[in-house]
Amino acid sequence: MKRIAIEQNLSDIRSALQEKGYELVEMQKQEDGAGCDCCVISGQDQNVMGMMDTATEGSVINAHGRTAEEVCQEIDARFSC
């Protein structure tokens, strides 16, 4: 089962991913994504200080301006390879 870290304020995406059977971890700070296959962020505070450090080797998906279905499709596509 793929493990996905997701920001707390993305409840619609969280629900959609739970329905698909993904294991979800609430991400309150960058380090919470460590050990996850993928992280879904809201994009509201993305790269505020111009630093590109990440705490995960998995994909980081920016959900800003996207529907839950669009985010789920991208995650499914990344894991189907």
Question: Block means of pLDDT (10 residues each) for the chain, length 81 residues?
Answer: 91 95 86 84 64 60 95 92 57
Q: Where are the alpha helices (DSSP H) in the chain?
A: 11-19, 68-79
What pLDDT does 58 receive?
A: 75
What pLDDT does 43 receive?
A: 82
